[in-house]
Structure 1
């Protein structure tokens, strides 16, 4: 995999690292990617993955993969497996083994006791609602819990009782003793440990008290020897708490945290909580639905790892929050597929044409390129007979002056084949078109007509060479630029985010696909239609399903103009 050194050596984080290493502040760079296993990764995580792994690679350093698994109520082994798969698929390998914050539960417990012994933590028995009430607001200070002044010995005994399971959930918690009047809400005696009588996916039933994310996160970084901790801007205030924790416990390593702008993508929801709502309400099918920007969803839609890495490279790393155009993501995959996708023909909404001057036994085989500019991608054969299918939108029964495709009395050229002329229409008793009767000029193969204007070109598939398939056409899931900001984000759903069509692909191509049904790298440009990939989840050998990855052009912005 090509390292994008130029892009990752041109941001403020790179300059910080460069200066730190220059001053011999650290022996080597050690970063980490620390996801919570409570959902699938999305395109925003991809930005963080690329940043951490690329910088480690740039400086011959190390990058850990660590699961910050401190909340068994929301975590699941399936999320862990999907995250591991996504990182590998993106092309990155972590240093040594996979780490878990749960590995450090005993150490974290001992550090919590250390805070108690220093009179910097206490067991509180206020309810969640009372804790929230006592915390105050942004404009009013909080007030001390009535349990805040318990002595050290009593707090140690109560914390041990919490560990042994002698309290029900919500009856007690461990809080840091900092400052209830702090201007920073996070420093108003934050909870460090809570009780959860539930099985953990790694430690099973060994523990019934679990550290809060903020407590475990910074200490886990310290234990692993992380030198530079990169996170998004919303964790800027958390740094105050991290520094307070590390300063007051007996750890040597104090990682430095640096914040960068999170990825915000137009028309997209990246919040795992909101994605879960979409799944629960059956608006999308699952975490890998191609309409959402999870890495699994993008992969299923036909995005490649290199196109996602390219996108992350292009948007860069800054401290300025902004909303990225969705078209930039599409640009990255469109450019790549233009180079690598096999060209073939597909008819999504078929209408039948009968070429009356060719008999029923007439057949020609044409050899056509898989890519007009890439001879190394080879060729394939298409069959031409007297009965073919074209797209419904390529024929107009009623005259339209500016319509340049097939209409009665007018000509078009069939891609790679002959010029045909529509002469009449056959309909059933309900007025539906059965077929269009056309004349085929057999003197026009590969020739421009000299006695008339050169007609438009349309794609087609011979009935004999057709294989019935399903096509899923995806549009934006939301109708507004920034649904993340909307409280009632479900009110802005696009009702046409998916359209399913049943048409045909070339039978010769389908035979090749069926031999590779489990191969994810089956990318196609259906000529004049768009870029598609095989949906390997739902496809079967007798039922091929294709997902549209992206249009041939940036239709979204063309529509806006």
Structure 2
């Protein structure tokens, strides 16, 4: 609203004014009283509070990056704050290494949590809430096994109530205390909420609130042997942290009833819950179960394999925080259950970011020897090349930095850039044709040698030192012997393609289910050893970005050393599917 040209200062809006922007399915018992709203406003100043709440049971992926981008981004946009909260309620799956890695990757992506919190820090409060529910006859200790509960729920509305559902309150209090003190083995007792087993929503069928786990917790230590479930914990911690907008993906939409039922029974503040579509990317997987299988069964080298869409994998492939965040912002949020994005769209956003931070260099991946016949074998020339082209100056990238490239009589070009015979559409080198060695000199092919199978082994050229020939098409990257008689620096290059041959792994072309592992791409990784680079690339530090001219954007691998440089191709310079990706 407002007059033309005026802007709404969203940072001045109170959190309750923003509810209309993020409204999900209405639940009758999801209302706060006027007193609760007033007290909440006094505690928060009326500002938005969101949270990014990962469970530290694995490494984050691009879907988590999207959740971060949304939760941190929307809070910042509306003048609020965002927690980084660890929903750490399952010590069997959670590790300190995951906690540390999540904190590192939140920082890498440029997000600044208002506070870092742990659900486990509130274990005593959660336990006290559970006792309160028992006292109000809204929870009971149950001795049905997990399998028995599962089989009973298969009967849906015809299921039978637990035999212990109506046990006396005092008995449940005593049994819950015995659970806490270690009187029962795992699986022998749980605390269940007394909800409504005739409800249409299965999440209202007396869900488990506490279970017994005899394992030390990575953050809370060994104090507890009873642990709250996600469904019991998540909503209560949202309320305790005065979250105004609890945003999650659409698979949690059917938990709205149980979320608000529990808060209503405890008479504590009810945040606004809003769900958005879960992200999937074509030709890859984001399921934690599938990612773990790929890693544990050695289909990939680890959680940071550059073919995976884990944040660690994306980083090792060479994606920058700016590129990842740009992709997440471009995808936006919607109420679709699942949002499928073409991989090319991620590449496009990554490419735009890398273009501004990747100095240009020349590397030859499949060397073919080229001899300049009108250059003395002992002669050495030096050409100066800029790190960045002039065209980037208007984007704020300095083009003043430069590097030197030596040229001797022995040069190496890409094998694919020479053909013994070719048509007019081929812009590479052929006998009698003139091309330009980038940043250096034009050369004309006079003849070539070939092996017994007709495969070219050496190309002989004459250089146009007088600069008399005009080359409009046919610019080749190259690497020369740094000194007469001395070979160039050898480097290893890792080339990546999509991890799966199917756009939607686990489905065939007709949409029928198949084993996703049968669709792994056997060419997803090609290792090129014996590539040639100029000597200065030996000093490239792990974590550095480069654009290898005509080949793509590359990242200096974490395992790279000055003696064994390794470069990972993040992406090619362009994609034939870019236009299609933009439209989609």
Kept after mapping to 1: 8 A contact 2:538/2:565: no
Aligned counterpart, 1:547: 568
Q: Against the structure 1 CA distance between its residues 422 and 206, is the aligned structure 2 distance closer, same or farther, given a 3 Å change threshold?
A: same
Kept after mapping to 2: 8 A contact 1:8/1:54: no
| Residue in structure 1 matching 2:492, options 470, 493, 496 | 470
* Unaligned stretches of 5+ residues in structure 2: 1-7, 24-36, 508-512
1:260-315 residue CA offsets vs partner (Å, 9 max, x unmatched): 11222222211112111110111111221111111121111111111111112111
Quick one: distance in 2 between partners of 1:106 and 1:120? 19
1:332-366 residue CA offsets vs partner (Å, 9 max, x unmatched): 11122223321111101111112233221111111
1:16 is the counterpart of 2:19: yes
Kept after mapping to 2: 8 A contact 1:448/1:454: no
Q: Against the structure 1 CA distance between its residues 346 and 355, is the aligned structure 2 distance closer, same or farther, given a 3 Å change threshold?
A: same
Q: CA deviation at 1:90?
A: 0.9
Q: CA deviation at 1:555?
A: 3.3
Q: How does 1:144-163 map to 2 (within 5 A)?
A: 144-163=161-180
1:413-446 residue CA offsets vs partner (Å, 9 max, x unmatched): 21122222333333456766442233323223xx
Quick one: distance in 2 between partners of 1:206 and 1:383? 66
Q: CA deviation at 1:506?
A: 3.7
Aligned counterpart, 1:259: 275
Q: How does 1:312-323 map to 2 (within 5 A)?
A: 312-320=328-336, 321-323=338-340
| Residue in structure 2 matching 1:538, options 539, 559, 577 | 559
The answer to which of 300-309 and 434-443 deviates more is 434-443
Q: How does 1:385-400 map to 2 (within 5 A)?
A: 385-400=408-423
Q: Against the structure 1 CA distance between its residues 511 and 278, is the aligned structure 2 distance closer, same or farther, given a 3 Å change threshold?
A: closer
1:300 is the counterpart of 2:316: yes
Q: How does 1:100-139 map to 2 (within 5 A)?
A: 100-136=118-154
Q: CA deviation at 1:556?
A: 4.5
Quick one: distance in 2 between partners of 1:327 and 1:503? 29
Quick one: distance in 1 between partners of 2:579 and 2:326? 23
Quick one: distance in 1 between partners of 2:489 and 2:576? 28
* Unaligned stretches of 5+ residues in structure 1: none
Quick one: distance in 2 between partners of 1:60 and 1:120? 38
| Residue in structure 2 matching 1:198, options 209, 212, 215 | 215
Quick one: distance in 1 between partners of 2:168 and 2:202? 25
1:172 is the counterpart of 2:195: no
Aligned counterpart, 2:71: 52
The answer to which of 185-194 and 482-491 deviates more is 482-491
Quick one: distance in 1 between partners of 2:143 and 2:82? 40
Q: Against the structure 1 CA distance between its residues 307 and 559, is the aligned structure 2 distance closer, same or farther, given a 3 Å change threshold?
A: closer
- Using the size of structure 2 for normalisation, the TM-score is 0.86
Aligned residues: 539
The answer to which of 483-492 and 304-313 deviates more is 483-492
Kept after mapping to 1: 8 A contact 2:134/2:169: yes
| Residue in structure 1 matching 2:464, options 430, 434, 441 | 441
Aligned counterpart, 1:219: 236
Q: Against the structure 1 CA distance between its residues 36 and 108, is the aligned structure 2 distance closer, same or farther, given a 3 Å change threshold?
A: same
Q: CA deviation at 1:401?
A: 5.7
Q: CA deviation at 1:499?
A: 0.9
| Residue in structure 2 matching 1:331, options 328, 334, 348 | 348
CA RMSD, Structure 1 to Structure 2 (Å): 2.8
Aligned counterpart, 1:492: 519
Q: CA deviation at 1:323?
A: 1.3
Q: Against the structure 1 CA distance between its residues 192 and 15, is the aligned structure 2 distance closer, same or farther, given a 3 Å change threshold?
A: same
1:11-64 residue CA offsets vs partner (Å, 9 max, x unmatched): xx99536799xx988421111111000111111111111111122222332211
1:501 is the counterpart of 2:528: yes
Aligned counterpart, 2:429: 406
| Residue in structure 2 matching 1:424, options 421, 442, 447 | 447
Q: CA deviation at 1:189?
A: 1.0
Kept after mapping to 2: 8 A contact 1:142/1:188: no
Q: Against the structure 1 CA distance between its residues 377 and 261, is the aligned structure 2 distance closer, same or farther, given a 3 Å change threshold?
A: farther
SS of the aligned residue for 1:500 comes to strand
Q: Against the structure 1 CA distance between its residues 539 and 141, is the aligned structure 2 distance closer, same or farther, given a 3 Å change threshold?
A: farther
Quick one: distance in 2 between partners of 1:401 and 1:7? 60
Kept after mapping to 2: 8 A contact 1:7/1:316: no
Aligned counterpart, 1:94: 113
Aligned counterpart, 1:248: 265
Q: CA deviation at 1:89?
A: 0.9
Q: How does 1:56-75 map to 2 (within 5 A)?
A: 56-75=75-94
Aligned counterpart, 1:80: 99
Kept after mapping to 1: 8 A contact 2:367/2:532: no
1:33 is the counterpart of 2:52: yes
Quick one: distance in 2 between partners of 1:359 and 1:142? 92
Quick one: distance in 2 between partners of 1:313 and 1:454? 40
Aligned counterpart, 1:364: 381
Quick one: distance in 2 between partners of 1:481 and 1:492? 10
Kept after mapping to 1: 8 A contact 2:489/2:538: no
SS of the aligned residue for 1:236 comes to helix
SS of the aligned residue for 1:237 comes to helix
Structure 1 residue ranges (4+ consecutive) displaced by more than 6 angstroms after TM superposition: 5-9, 17-20
- Using the size of structure 1 for normalisation, the TM-score is 0.90
Q: CA deviation at 1:201?
A: 0.4
Q: Against the structure 1 CA distance between its residues 14 and 479, is the aligned structure 2 distance closer, same or farther, given a 3 Å change threshold?
A: farther
Kept after mapping to 2: 8 A contact 1:8/1:51: no
Quick one: distance in 1 between partners of 2:421 and 2:464? 24
